[in-house]
Amino acid sequence: MKRILITGKNSYIGQTFINWVKANNVDYKIDTIDLKDPDWKKQDFSIYDCLIHLAAIVHKKVQEDDIYYRINRDLAVETAQKAKNEGVKQFIFFSTMSVFGMNQGVINKETKLLPKTSYGKSKLEAEKEIRKLGDRQFLVSVLRPPMVYGPSASGNYSRLSKLAKKINIFPEINNQRSMLFVLNLHQFLKIIIDNQLSGTFHPKNSQHINTSQLVYEIANVHNKSMRLISIGEVFPQLLIKNVTVFSKIFGTLVYDEGLIGSPNSEYGGVKFEYNNYGFKDSIAVSEGMKIIND
């Protein structure tokens, strides 16, 4: 049995991972810790095989920009150092697609790391410092997932879901987005943990998602009529190019298949078979219209 500690006590990924482990009878013993409590430094990390670091400031309206660096970088590095000092074998750091600083395009092995936001910059700086701690006795695994969605997820998926249930028409725009269904992510995490893999990984769904089709499918699983209307190509492209919010929803932003961690790729002799749920099933589950046991 592996003993795992998760930071970010109330994180969406952490809580759903715990539920998934229980539902599938995975042989893990998982504890959580709240790094907001100063007593976390007194906790004994030596009993754990793996630490999954999820504690972070994401896209919050905060007065101090410096808080991103204090939490996402400094606290993450301090946690990793403590884990190493106390003999934890593997440290899994959740980073972000934002380290590339792109709102649209294809991210591949040659894409430069040029984050634009404090969130992305702080995560990238944390990556660099934590990797310095890695060695054969302390395996460092960095995950850069795209948008994660699933039941009760927040963020853009939640906003699109609410919109799809209120309206009957939506623009038909031909874009693609890399996204990651939370249950596929949990299977990916299990592969990383069971095989003690270190490196930088880019997990995603096998199928890229079109925003218009996403909204259509959300409406469909609720038996709601949705009509996709064409608004041409020129006007949407101008909006995508010049309006940040529009580009984040309708721009094309995908991970190339050649990145480490892509579905069905291999790394260290391990094949990444983790996409157990296709697009339609993932939406049905996310919308609470399909119950699953795993």
Question: Which ranges of the chain would DSSP assign to H, the alpha helix?
Answer: 12-23, 66-68, 76-85, 118-133, 156-164, 182-194, 211-221, 234-242, 244-250, 279-286
Total domain count for the chain? 1
Residue 4 maps to a domain: yes
Cβ atoms within 10 A of the Cβ of 282, count? 25
d(CA 178, CA 214): 12
Residue 252 maps to a domain: no
d(CA 265, CA 282): 21
CB contact at 8 A, 255 and 105: no
d(CA 285, CA 294): 11
Residue 186 maps to a domain: no
Residue 175 maps to a domain: no
Residue 149 maps to a domain: no
pLDDT tens string for the chain (294 positions)? 999 999 998 899 999 999 999 999 999 999 999 999 999 999 999 999 999 999 998 876 655 678 999 999 999 999 999 999 999 999 999 999 999 999 889 999 999 999 999 999 999 999 999 999 999 999 999 999 999 999 999 888 998 999 899 999 998 888 999 999 999 999 999 999 999 999 999 999 999 999 999 999 999 999 999 999 887 554 445 444 544 555 677 789 999 999 999 999 999 999 999 999 999 999 999 999 877 655
CATH of the domain at 30: 3.40.50.720
Cβ atoms within 10 A of the Cβ of 198, count? 20
d(CA 53, CA 36): 13
pLDDT confidence of residue 103: 87
- Tokens 């709601």 locate to 224
Range of the domain at 37: 1-144
Residue 58 maps to a domain: yes
Residue 150 maps to a domain: no
- The pTM of the full predicted model, rounded to 2 decimals, is 0.93
Cβ atoms within 10 A of the Cβ of 93, count? 24
d(CA 52, CA 35): 13
Chain segment 149-202, per-residue pLDDT in tens: 999 998 889 989 998 999 999 988 889 999 999 999 999 999 999 999 999 999
d(CA 261, CA 140): 15
DSSP of 178-192: -EEEHHHHHHHHHHH
pLDDT confidence of residue 155: 84
Rg (CA), the chain: 19
Residue 221 maps to a domain: no
State the DSSP code for 105.
Answer: E
